[in-house]
Amino acid sequence: MLSKEEAERERFGAVLAFMEKLGIIESVERWKLIRELRNAINHEYEDDTERLAQFFLEMLQATPELFDYFQRLLTFCSDAYGVTPE
61-84: b (≥16 Cβ within 10 Å) or e: eeeeeeeebeebeeeeeeeeeeee
Nearest CA among 29, 67, 37 for reference residue 54: 37
Average pLDDT rounded to a whole number, residues 18-46 = 89
What's the predicted TM-score (pTM) here?
Answer: 0.79
Boundaries of every domain in the chain: 4-81
Rank 2-6, 44-48, 63-67 by mean pLDDT and report only the highest.
63-67
The angle that helices 28-43 and 4-22 make with each other, rounded to 10 degrees, is 130
Check: CB of residue 74 under 8 Å from CB of residue 84.
yes
pLDDT in tens, 1-22: 668 777 777 899 999 999 999 9
The C-alpha atoms of residue 81 and residue 76 are separated, in whole angstroms, by 8
